């Protein structure tokens, strides 16, 4: 029997709210964080919208030393540091420590270093001025940049891991942190993920023709998961972090407990049986959900809410069918389901952690957030599940168990089961 | 430039790399960049790069190695400035 693992702190940098109170208000009221980006129009992108947090870069000075701040250019690092340090403070712990905190580690994910910041590096090297790059480039270019800044600020001394599994990164980070604590390797883990979709990454997605193109004049209505007019996703940026603790460790220090992580699963469809680099093998997805339930010791009947991946592409229908098959539930028997992406777009690596924070807030405050923009539900979806399973207005109700899943390029899947702490 | 003028400018170059502002205000030739001002040894490179830009000089690796305290920094900067004219 492994250790029980609870969530004791949360921090968030979301396109529709920075900090837990602002984010909670936004998701309860269906507030969109999607904005028109004039720069993307100049660049001739087909989609000219993004979920970009209203992040005050100078605010980082409240989190890290002036010396560390000077020379910090990586936007993804800035987002991750704020989310992680807010989560840490939220858990009631102090930032400063003289000795390393040997009992505490970190699993924090991201996809790519800030390419816009790296452009300056490339220009200097090409201009034969490599000597002028200075000491701060490598630490921000390396994939482990985000975890290094977080663990350094907090003096974390246990396992420090940077994970990356495309859109499944965030849920996978939380699952890995959960596993380290459950198996007794750490007492506390800072987990989460961050993403900054810079113009270069954005352009590459735009070229794949997977982004929403027809709503550039109506930004807040552009992210439309499960609707007939869903024509692709809207890229989002941000970060979220959670503090996971061994239940006994949390109780001993009198920590406030938000929720419990019951378990989860992470796998791959192997890019077989219809799975490819960009499409999920449904067999893998169903297996991932089934294993998450088994590992958590729950039945499908206990699931109050599905926080879907549901990006607003033509994969939405298949995802609903996979959930339906995995849970052996359909029609009005299907759990309530929502997609936060309707409000903030798809935050790629950060999606899983941001959506997990939203899931926990729904457990703590007893509500199901709306699916905004679901004015014209896709009949292929509502043929599988009842229309009222997809709330378009906030529902106030007790939420005991949430299944949160994300699926990513490379045919990777992650599913978490979150519960009210009893 | 006199040594005093170089010192005044050098304080501005060093400022972003030390949190010890009080000590920075009172630095003299004997102030050690790492031991006294607690500058991260990796950041010494940045101090040198910023000094090159500030004084429009080039500081070669051998000269840079000598820049361990305020006095030797001023020596090197002064020498490079003199080579310019």
C-alpha dihedral sign at A330, A227, A308, A231: positive
Name the residue with tokens 């999607």.
Answer: A34
Cβ of residue A25 closer than 8 Å to a chain B Cβ: no
pLDDT at A117: 85
Total domains in the fold of chain A = 2
Residues A204, A283 within the same domain: no
A101-122 pLDDT per residue, tens: 999 999 999 999 888 889 999 9
Q: Are A145 and A164 a contacting pair, CB within 8 Å?
A: no
Residues A251, A292 within the same domain: no
Cβ of residue A128 closer than 8 Å to a chain B Cβ: no
pLDDT at A302: 98
Q: Which residues from A are below 8 Å from B17, CB to CB?
A: 67, 70
Q: Averaged over A341-368, what is the pLDDT?
A: 98
Q: Are A415 and A265 a contacting pair, CB within 8 Å?
A: yes
Q: Dihedral (C-alpha) A236, A113, A353, A268: value to the nearest 10 degrees? A: 100
Q: Establish how many alpha carbons lie within 13 A of residue B25's alpha carbon, considering only the half-sphere containing its beta carbon.
A: 2
B49 and A67: CB-CB below 8 Å?
no
**Which residues partner with A211 through β-bridges?**
A233
pLDDT band at A48 (very low <50, low <70, confident <90, very high): very high
C-alpha dihedral sign at A200, A205, A207, A213: negative
SS3 A286: helix
Residues A67, A158 within the same domain: yes
Q: Averaged over B32-58, what is the pLDDT?
A: 95
Q: Are A30 and A394 a contacting pair, CB within 8 Å?
A: yes
Cβ of residue A96 closer than 8 Å to a chain B Cβ: no
pLDDT at A402: 98
Q: Averaged over A256-270, what is the pLDDT?
A: 98
Q: Residue B52 above 80 pLDDT?
A: yes
Q: Residue A229 above 80 pLDDT?
A: yes
| Structural tokens at position A306 | 């599905």
Give the whole-angstrom CA distance, residue A166 versus residue A309: 13
Q: Are A215 and A235 a contacting pair, CB within 8 Å?
A: no
Q: Residue B85 above 80 pLDDT?
A: no
pLDDT at B1: 86
pLDDT at A223: 98
SS3 A343: helix
B46 and A136: CB-CB below 8 Å?
yes
Q: Averaged over A63-89, what is the pLDDT?
A: 97
Residues A166, A206 within the same domain: yes
Question: Of A228, A259, A290, which residue is a domain's last?
Answer: A259
Q: Averaged over A298-317, what is the pLDDT?
A: 97
**Mode of pairing for the β-strands spanning A5-14 and A259-268:** antiparallel
Residues A249, A269 within the same domain: no
Residue to mutate among B17, B44, B52, B61, with most A CBs inside 10 A, is B17
Question: Of A217, A240, A259, which residue is a domain's last?
Answer: A259
A333-351 pLDDT per residue, tens: 999 999 999 999 999 999 9
φ and ψ at A285, to 5 degrees? -65, -50
Q: Of A79, A80, A78, nearest to A107 (Cα)?
A: A80
B46 and A131: CB-CB below 8 Å?
no
Cβ of residue A213 closer than 8 Å to a chain B Cβ: no
Q: Averaged over A2-6, what is the pLDDT?
A: 97
Residue to mutate among A72, A128, A135, A138, with most B CBs inside 10 A, is A135
Q: Which residues from B are below 8 Å from A132, CB to CB?
A: 49, 52
**C-alpha distance from residue A348 to each of A96, A172, A179, A208, A233 (Å):** 32, 13, 23, 15, 10
Total domains in the fold of chain B = 1
Q: Of A167, A226, A165, A220, nearest to A351 (Cα)?
A: A167
A390-418 pLDDT per residue, tens: 999 999 999 999 999 999 999 999 999 99
Q: Are B45 and B52 a contacting pair, CB within 8 Å?
A: no
Compute the C-alpha angle A192/A209/A268, nearest 5°: 45
- This prediction has a pTM of 0.96
Say which of A65, A70, A134 has its CB closest to residue B45: A134
- Collect all residues with Cβ–Cβ distance below 8 Å to A30 and sequence separation of at least 6: A343, A369, A370, A372, A393, A394
Q: Averaged over A205-223, what is the pLDDT?
A: 97
A133-152 pLDDT per residue, tens: 999 999 999 999 999 999 99
Residues A255, A268 within the same domain: no
Give the whole-angstrom CA distance, residue A206 versus residue A150: 32
Residues A307, A414 within the same domain: yes
Residues A254, A270 within the same domain: no
Give the whole-angstrom CA distance, residue A170 versus residue A191: 8
A134 and B18: CB-CB below 8 Å?
no
Q: Which residues from A are below 8 Å from B52, CB to CB?
A: 132
Q: Which residues from A are below 8 Å from B42, CB to CB?
A: 135
Residues A94, A173 within the same domain: yes
Q: Are A234 and A47 a contacting pair, CB within 8 Å?
A: yes
What proportion of chain A, given as a percentage, has pLDDT over 90?
Answer: 98
pLDDT at B75: 97
Question: Of A206, A229, A259, which residue is a domain's last?
Answer: A259
ipTM (interface pTM): 0.90
Distance from CA of A238 to the nearest CA of B (A): 28
Q: In terms of C-beta distances under 8 Å and separation of at least 24 residues, what long-range contacts does A54-57 make, across chains too?
A: A54/A18, A55/A13, A55/A18, A55/A79, A55/A82
φ and ψ at A411, to 5 degrees? 60, 45
Q: Averaged over B24-30, what is the pLDDT?
A: 95
Domain that holds residue A32: 5-259
Q: What is the CATH number of the domain that holds B43?
A: 1.10.1200.10
Say which of A67, A131, A132 has its CB closest to residue B17: A67
Domain that holds residue B17: 3-84
pLDDT at B84: 82
Closest B-chain CA to A132: B49
A67 and B46: CB-CB below 8 Å?
no
Residues A91, A113 within the same domain: yes
b or e along A119-152 (b: 16 or more beta carbons within 10 Å of the residue's beta carbon)? eebeebeeeeeeeebbbbbebbbeeebbbbbbbe
Residues A274, A368 within the same domain: yes
Q: What is the CATH number of the domain that holds A56?
A: 3.40.47.10
Residues A204, A310 within the same domain: no
As a whole number, the mean pLDDT across chain A is 97
Q: Of A106, A17, A30, nearest to A395 (Cα)?
A: A30
Q: Which residues from A are below 8 Å from B57, CB to CB?
A: none
pLDDT at A416: 98
B45 and A132: CB-CB below 8 Å?
no
Give the whole-angstrom CA distance, residue A227 versus residue A247: 41
Report DSSP letters for B13-67, one per residue: HHGGG-S-HHHHHT--TT-BTTTTT---GGGHHHHHHHHHHHHT----HHHHHH-
């Amino acid at each position: 029997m492994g250790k029980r693992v609870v969530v004791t702190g949360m921090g968030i940098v979301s396109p529709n709210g920075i900090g837990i109170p602002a984010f909670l208000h936004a998701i309860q009221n269906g507030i969109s964080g999607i904005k028109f980006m004039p720069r993307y129009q100049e660049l001739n992108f087909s989609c000219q919208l993004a979920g970009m947090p209203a992040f005050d870069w100078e605010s980082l000075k409240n989190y890290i030393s002036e010396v560390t701040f000077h020379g910090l250019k990586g936007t993804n690092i800035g987002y991750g540091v704020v989310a992680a340090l807010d989560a840490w403070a939220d858990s009631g712990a102090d930032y400063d420590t003289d000795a390393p905190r040997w009992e505490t580690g970190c699993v924090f994910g991201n996809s790519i270093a800030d390419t816009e910041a790296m452009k300056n590096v490339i220009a200097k090297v090409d201009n034969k001025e490599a000597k002028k790059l200075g000491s701060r480039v490598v630490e921000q270019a390396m994939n482990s940049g985000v975890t290094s800044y977080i663990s350094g600020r907090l003096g974390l001394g246990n396992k420090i891991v940077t994970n990356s599994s495309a859109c499944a990164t965030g849920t996978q980070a939380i699952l890995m942190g959960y596993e380290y604590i459950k198996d007794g390797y750490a007492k506390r883990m800072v987990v989460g993920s961050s993403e900054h979709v810079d113009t270069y990454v954005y352009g590459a997605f735009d070229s794949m023709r997977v982004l929403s193109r027809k709503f550039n004049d109506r930004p807040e209505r552009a992210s439309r998961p499960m609707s007939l007019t869903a024509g692709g996703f809207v890229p989002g940026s941000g970060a979220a972090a959670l503090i996971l603790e061994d239940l006994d460790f949390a109780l001993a220090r009198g920590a406030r407990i938000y929720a419990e992580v019951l378990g989860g699963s992470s796998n791959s469809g192997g890019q077989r049986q219809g799975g490819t680099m960009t499409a999920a093998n449904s067999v893998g997805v169903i297996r991932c959900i089934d294993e998450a339930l088994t590992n958590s010791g729950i039945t499908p009947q206990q699931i109050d809410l599905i926080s879907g991946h549901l990006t607003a592409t033509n994969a939405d229908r298949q995802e609903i069918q996979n959930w339906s098959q995995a849970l052996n539930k359909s029609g009005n028997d299907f759990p309530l389901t929502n997609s936060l992406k309707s409000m903030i777009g798809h935050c790629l690596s950060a999606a899983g952690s941001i959506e997990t924070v939203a899931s926990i807030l729904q457990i703590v405050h007893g509500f199901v957030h709306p699916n905004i923009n679901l004015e014209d539900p896709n009949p292929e979806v509502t043929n599988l599940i009842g229309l009222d399973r997809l709330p378009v207005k906030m529902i106030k109700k007790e939420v005991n168990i949430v299944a949160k899943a994300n699926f990513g390029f490379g045919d990777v899947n992650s599913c978490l089961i979150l519960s009210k702490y009893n | 430039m006199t040594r005093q003028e170089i010192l005044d400018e050098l304080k501005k170059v060093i400022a972003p790399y030390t949190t010890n502002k009080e000590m920075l205000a009172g630095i003299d030739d004997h102030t050690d960049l790492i031991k006294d001002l607690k500058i991260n040894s990796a950041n010494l490179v940045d101090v040198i790069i910023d000094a090159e830009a500030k004084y429009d000089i080039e500081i070669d690796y051998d000269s840079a190695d000598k820049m361990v305290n305020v006095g030797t920094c001023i020596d090197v900067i002064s020498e490079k400035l003199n080579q310019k004219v």
